Amino acid sequence: MVRDSVKTVIAASMVGTAIEFYDFYAYGTAAANYFPKVFFGHSGTGALIGSLLTFAIAFIARPLGSLVFGHFGDRMGRKNTLVVSLLTMGIATFLIGCLPSYQTWGWLAVALLVICRFVQGLGLGGEWSGAALVATENAPEDKRALYGSFPELGAPIGFFLSNGTYFLLETFNDADAMLAWGWRVPFLLSAVLVVVGLVVRVHMEETPVFRLAQEQNKVVKSPLKEVFKTSWRQVLQATFLVAVTYTLFYTLATWSLAWGTKPVEQGGGGLGFTNREYLLMLMVGVCVFAAFIVLSCLFADRIGRKRILVFSSCALVLFALGFPYLLMGTGERDFLAVIVFLCLGFALMGIAFGPIGAFLPELFKANVRYSGSGIGYNLAAIVGAAFVPTIATWLSHKWGVESVGLYLAAMSICCLVAVLTCKETKDTDFSE
């Protein structure tokens, strides 16, 4: 089967995914730091929880996006579907940067924010699975996990770009300027990144596996009906395989950001860090995340996906029970304890997240692969991510940080059970 070059595969899967995740993470940072004041009129715990609930809207929309884009991706091909998903996400993100504040339009501004956030979720719902298929369906048989790491690396790259933008903005602007206009800049800059991503994806070829399915008349008219009829078990397995990575990521990146930088009366933990300091520590952790994605995928190609994920699930249970003591450290501004917490958490995140790029598509046949992997991946967004910052904020103030650790441990155990029910997919015939 004729394949795109490695450079083209990397560009089409990694660059586009990085842009999508940049847009998504920009919202997460703004929801934790700026939206309580901008869209809810004050900075108390209630406003923070309201802001984080708008953060959850996109995760609820993502399964719907995976249904829509998965249907067309399995019927019409991966390429055109990915172009539309990127455009959908990009327009919604740009419009968020143009919205008036609560002081200007009141609750109408909040309603428009919710609508834009919902459309963001629709776009991202079709993104990951399509990018994963572009990578893995162009990969040599013995390097599918490594190729599958390309879209996975889009997550830390997008996060680094988003938080790096906020870091620079907060370096050169005070808090009043950030609330007035600075928070808008990352959303408006996304337009430039989307244009770059569209150029890359318009010029890529359709994947060889989908072309082969077309030639052999294996493309089904109703992929969604087929996937729920023949692969519902794999959809459930995929959901819980991915859910813990979402829970871990948004515990580290969104909830801990608010906890570390806000005083107790504003929904934080009173650890005394500035936004800029915590963003810098997060960016260090994300570099660790990227490195462990690649390492875990190299090992997954050698010893199998299942062993790697069993190890990461067990390690995450131990981390979940111990991280509250690291995060709290010895009191205010314990940089060493928090950086160890973030780096260790992101290392385990990389190990758990890396092989997913190959493992999820390998669970499904080629004619329902876009739909099946996308639905499982995005259902995991609801189970594992949609309300994580809100739940973690509520738990930490009700029963302390230890309860957040127990929440993460429970999700890790669910992942372990899902992994143990799966067969090893390393030697699966991916053209079937």
Q: Which two tokens stand for residue 93?
A: 């993100």
CA dist 244 and 188 (Å) reads: 31
- Give the span between the Cα atoms of 228 and 235, in whole angstroms: 8
Per-residue pLDDT, 192: 87
Q: Which amino acid is at 262?
A: K
Token representation of residue 79:
């390429």
Note whether residue 322 is domain-resident: yes
Q: What is the mean pLDDT of the chain?
A: 86
pLDDT digits (tens, 9 = 90+) for 218-271: 766 777 788 888 888 999 999 999 999 989 988 888 788 888 888 877 777 788
pLDDT tens digit sequence for 317-364: 999 998 888 887 666 788 888 999 999 999 999 999 999 999 999 999
Best CA proximity match to 397, nearest among 4, 18, 103, 48: 48
CB 264 within 8 A of CB 270: yes
Q: What are the Cα distances from residue 295, in Å, to 16, 25, 298, 301?
A: 22, 24, 5, 10
How far is it, in rounded angstroms, from Cα 426 to Cα 182? Answer: 47
Q: What's the rounded Cα separation, in Å, for the pair 346 and 284?
A: 10
Quote the number of domains for the chain.
Answer: 1
Q: To the nearest 10°, report the CA torsion of 229, 233, 237, 240.
A: 80
Q: Is residue 195 exposed (0-12), middle (13-18) or buried (19+ Cβ within 10 Å)?
A: exposed
Quote the CA–CA distance of 59 and 116 in Å, as a whole number.
13
Which pLDDT belongs to residue 298? 95
C-alpha to C-alpha distances, 349 to 134, 249, 315, nearest whole angstrom: 23, 7, 10
Domain carrying residue 258:
6-421
Output DSSP code: residue 424.
P
What's the rounded mean pLDDT across residues 92-96? 91
* H helices present in 231-368, as ranges: 232-250, 256-261, 275-303, 305-328, 335-353, 356-362
**Residue 409 clears pLDDT 90, i.e. is over it:** yes
Per-residue model confidence (pLDDT) at position 85: 87
What the block records as the tokens of 47 is: 């406003």
Per-residue pLDDT, 300: 94
Taking 80 as the threshold, does the pLDDT of residue 90 lie above it?
yes
- Cα separation, 271 vs 290, in Å, equals 27
**Which structure tokens are listed for 375?**
């639905």
Neighbours of 412 (CB within 10 A): 26
393 belongs to a structural domain: yes
71 versus 305: the higher-pLDDT residue is 305
SS3 269: coil
pLDDT tens-digit map of 95-142: 999 999 888 888 898 899 999 999 988 888 888 888 888 888 888 888
CATH of the domain at 80: 1.20.1250.20
The burial of 172, by beta-carbon neighbours within 10 Å (0-12 exposed, 13-18 middle, 19 or more buried), is given as: exposed
The confidence score (pLDDT) of residue 329 equals 66
pLDDT for residue 5? 64
Buried b (16+ CB within 10 A) or exposed e, 129-160: bbbbbbbbbbbeeebbbbbbbbbbbbbbbbbb
Cβ pair 350, 292 in contact under 8 A: yes
pLDDT above 70: percentage of residues in the chain: 96
Q: How far apart are CA 410 and CA 244, in angstroms?
A: 9
Q: Cβ(390)–Cβ(52) under 8 Å?
A: yes
Structure confidence by residue, pLDDT tens digits, 31-55: 878 888 888 877 677 787 888 788 7
Supply the pLDDT for residue 54.
Answer: 84
Indicate whether 70 belongs to any domain: yes
Whether the CB-CB separation of 121 and 65 falls below 8 Å is answered with: yes
Q: Is 234 part of a structural domain of the chain?
A: yes
Q: How confident is the model at residue 11 (pLDDT cuts 50, 70, 90)?
A: confident
pLDDT of residue 350: 95
Q: Which residues, 6+ apart, have CB-to-CB distance to 115 below 8 Å?
A: none
- Cβ atoms of 73 and 377 within 8 Å: the answer is no
Place 209 in a pLDDT band, splitting at 50, 70 and 90: confident
Q: Give the separation between CA 180 and CA 321, rounded to whole angstroms.
A: 40
